[in-house]
Amino acid sequence: MMSETIHIAIVEDDNEIRQTLTLIIDGSRGFSCKYAFPDGESALASVANLPVDVVLMDIDLPGKSGIEVTRQLKQECPEVDFIMLTVKSDDDSIFESLCVGASGYLLKDTSPADLLTHIKEVYEGGAPMSSQIARRIISSFRIINNPLSERETEILKMLSRGMNYKDVAEELFLSPHTVKTHIKNIYSKLHVKNRAEAIYKAIKQKLI
């Protein structure tokens, strides 16, 4: 049983969604939702002066985006937690939101029960993510940790399809010498000695 009430504000331009979320949250024990804003500008003018613990923030808002509003509000009230609640699942939106200070990222198809659980989770110091978002983040970290350059990855993919140095050079409009230099760098970065080892290791580490 929750011993204290979590105060939530909503920033959502869709009237029906905003009203539905407000009713669900405010009607649930341990939660209070007395503040709901249709755009970022009205939220910026009020949230910092309200007794709010968690803000549910849409991204696609008229005027300032939810990401920009979160960035500004997080600077004004760093103690408030922000959860992005959006239909957007592209990498840029996810990482920009997290970079400006969002503590959670949920998609709008999150069930009411799960939404309440996630609000409580972020209030207690967690960082809730929809499973689809968590998978994208993990996938992106794999890409970030790829030691190969974009060109090296492209060449290794071509080699894995059975192409030889000459074929790769012609396909990419490079000289055979340049291709050999790239391959030498690939071997060095992956700590392997030949093409087979490079392809095996790259596939195993999900680099290609």
Q: What is the pLDDT of residues 76-113, one digit of tens each?
A: 999 999 999 999 988 788 989 988 999 999 999 999 99
Residues 87 and 188 in one domain: no
Residue range of the domain that includes 45:
6-142
pLDDT of 119 above 70 = yes
**pLDDT score at 141:** 62
Tell me the DSSP string of the chain: --SSPEEEEEE-S-HHHHHHHHHHHHTSTTEEEEEEESSHHHHHHHGGGS--SEEEE-SS-SSS-HHHHHHHHHHH-TTSEEEEEES---HHHHHHHHHHT-SEEEETT--HHHHHHHHHHHHTT---B-HHHHHHHHHHHHHHT--S-HHHHHHHHHHHTT--HHHHHHHHT--HHHHHHHHHHHHHHHT-SSHHHHHHHHHHTT--
Residues 63 and 123 in one domain: yes
Residues 158 and 120 in one domain: no
In whole numbers, what is the pLDDT of the chain averaged over residues?
A: 91
1 falls within a domain: no
- Model's pTM, two decimal places? 0.66
Number of structural domains (the chain) is 2
